[in-house]
Amino acid sequence: MAFSLSTVSSPKIFLPSDGFLRSPSQTRLRPFFARPVPGPKTWFSSKPISISTGFHRRQPVKMAAATGSKQLTVFETEEELAVSLAKYTAEISDKFTRERGAFTVVLSGGSLIKALRKLTEAPYLESVEWSKWHVFWVDERVVKLDHPDSNYKLALDGFLSKVPIPPNQIYAINDTLPPEGAAEDYEARLKQLVWDRVIKVVPTSGLPRFDLMLLGMGPDGHVASLFPGHPLLKETQKWVTHITDSPKPPPERITFTFPVINASAYVAMVVTGSGKAGAVHKALSGGENTGYTDRLPVEMVELEQGEFTWFTDKAAVSMLNEKDTGL
């Protein structure tokens, strides 16, 4: 069965045909470990199995508003994760390219860029319609675009320079502006692209609806440049805002806000390594005894109407167990 790209209204996990089995009637989330499947058969050929609670059970208020779905995938190795992430991204690109002749994709910095490396190889280098891609950043460090700290430079060197996306469809920040000006400028450009119908809009809210956001998460549970306990977590008006006291260097950045992230059609949260295990545990299990007290930014990614997929490895979920997930 082909991987379904349709949006679903309840949390799901996808079980590989040769993966671990569990009852379809179970009502709480449990991670599965996707085993390597040679050739075209991957976990994307799995049967979706609905669960009735799972991730949302700790946030009843948000849950009432959000109708998006969540899925968890766990890979034996980062290499297998990279293979599946490329297939997932290529399939979503294909879906939107066919539907509307454009694909809007948002990148973060960090280890995500390396995880996208398989897209620069066969068969994707030839099969993906790169000319339809429009590339944005969920957050960017306010430095020159050729600075080693620049997320644009990271993505250019590791991914974008290896695929034929038209340069005028790669939307880097204006690196001549200070943080506040750079955020305002980026938001204005997004609004123009909504007006030009490159970026879709959510009719009810007027928010931009990006086709796919490819996000990472820090060990503290931050996403984009939205850090635990920071006032920017509460921003509801701006699409893009700025920060000058980022706890992760460099301090000056711009970032998409939660309303924009949560309006996305698809979000992939790519998280590997044992350093993230505590935050993953809190986000996926209920969070007792993790050392984290407040709601983490990653827990605030609650899609209004979209599909949120965690791409993890065994180290990242090493603190999850049956007791934590209620099984």
CB 241 within 8 A of CB 255: yes
Nearer to ligand 6PG (CB atom), residue 11 or residue 228:
228
Give CA–CA dist 237/304, Å, rounded. 16
Taking CB under 6 A as the rule, which mask of x and - marks residues 252-291 in contact with ligand 6PG?
----------------------------------------
Find the part of the chain contacting ligand 6PG (CB under 6 A) among 59-67, 92-100, 212-220, 308-316.
Answer: 212-220
Partners of 106 in the beta sheet? 136, 213
Note the helical H segments in the chain: 60-65, 78-100, 112-115, 124-127, 151-158, 179-195, 258-261, 277-285
**Which range touches ligand 6PG (CB under 6 A), out of 71-79, 211-219, 234-242, 277-285?**
211-219
Yes or no: say if 297 and 123 are a contact pair by the CB < 8 Å rule.
Answer: no
| Per-residue mark of binding to ligand 6PG, 146-185 (x: CB under 6 A) | -----x----------------------------------
C-alpha 256/C-alpha 159 separation (Å) is: 21
What single letter denotes the amino acid at residue 284? L
> Least distance to ligand 6PG from the beta carbon of 23, Å?
34
What tokens does 36 get? 């390597």
Cis peptide before 11 (omega within 30 of 0): no
Take residue 116 and report the two structure tokens written for it: 């996208």
- Asked if 297 is part of the footprint of ligand 6PG (rule: CB under 6 A), the reply reads no
Find the part of the chain contacting ligand 6PG (CB under 6 A) among 157-165, 184-192, 202-210, 216-224. Answer: 216-224
Q: Which of 71, 108, 150, 290 binds ligand 6PG (CB under 6 A)?
A: 108
Asked if residue 326 binds ligand 6PG (CB under 6 A), the reply is no
Q: Under the rule (CB under 6 A), what is the footprint of ligand 6PG?
A: 108-112, 139, 141, 151, 216-218, 222-224, 248
